[in-house]
Amino acid sequence: MKVLDLTEKLEERLYQMYSHHNKIIQGRLQAFTQKMAKISHLEMVLKQAFQTVETVETVYKDLCV
């Protein structure tokens, strides 16, 4: 009887710990996903800016010739 009681308590405690850590991990994963989305957006903006600079450089070279 004691073994069964202790087993149930251990099972409940493990479940509580799992739930607690799962919530922490989910929060961090969501924050990471948001940061990665922002990085992807900034990467796209940077590529567009680079393309604009290349276009301006080409136009400038054409004008100089």
What's the pLDDT at 43?
98
Token pair 């087993």: residue: 7
What's the pLDDT at 65?
77
What's the pLDDT at 45?
98
What's the pLDDT at 54?
95
Which CA distances in Å does 37 have to 1, 2, 18, 31? 53, 52, 28, 10
Distance between CA atoms of residues 58 and 2, nearest Å: 83
Q: Over the chain (65 residues), what is each successive 10-residue block's mean pLDDT?
A: 94 97 98 98 98 94 86
How many Cα atoms are found within 13 Å in the side-chain-facing hemisphere of 4? 1
What's the pLDDT at 11?
97
What's the pLDDT at 46?
98
